[in-house]
Amino acid sequence: MSAETMAETVVGRALSDHPLLRALEAQSREAADIKQLDDESFEQFIGMLRNHRACGYLHDMDFARKEWGTKWNACEGVVDSQNGTAQFDTAWACPKPIFVALSKQFPQEVITITYADEDIGSNCGMFKLKNGEVIEADEAQPWREMSEEQKAKWTAFAYEVKGWKPEEE
């Protein structure tokens, strides 16, 4: 049993909305027993409770996923001030909450976000924000729900956004 499972149980964290994950989480929490934690796990558990008491999150990854929309900070950033563009990589998701917050700081501006991750053709698209609200969006649906034509469209889109060629994957 993990310190995180024990901490989630103690703070009453909601179970996943996904049926399979929900069942697995419930099963893990039912089996949670603080006496089964070794010393290192117990200290991690206490640290998570302190974090939760201080800021509402068990650990920094919880914070990052909720507040940033991705699990890590940005990396490999490039800013072009003359063109008003920025490009950077994040872990597995477009950090929409950050863009919404930025848009609210500049309520008169329309901010266009174009994104694609390394899962070429999935998790990609474009959206425009004004004062924190999405005013336009064209985003890929889950891969399994796309037609072959849509898969081709979003694959080409992602390669263009990433600046990659198909043979560079």
pLDDT at residue 84 in the model: 85
For 79, half-sphere exposure in the C-beta direction (CA atoms, 13 angstrom radius) is 3
Rounded to the nearest integer, the mean pLDDT of the chain is: 91
Torsion sign over Cα 89, 77, 61, 37: positive
Look up residue 49 and give its two tokens: 């409770």
3-state secondary structure of 54: helix
pLDDT at residue 1 in the model: 62
Intervals of the chain under pLDDT 70: 1, 168-169
What does pTM read for this prediction?
A: 0.71
Look up residue 159 and give its two tokens: 């390669």
pLDDT at residue 168 in the model: 57
Q: Are strands 75-80 and 133-139 parallel, antiparallel or unpaired?
A: unpaired
pLDDT at residue 67 in the model: 85
Torsion sign over Cα 68, 151, 128, 159: positive
pLDDT at residue 53 in the model: 95
pLDDT at residue 42 in the model: 96
Alpha carbon distance 15, 25 (integer Å): 7
Alpha carbon distance 112, 83 (integer Å): 13
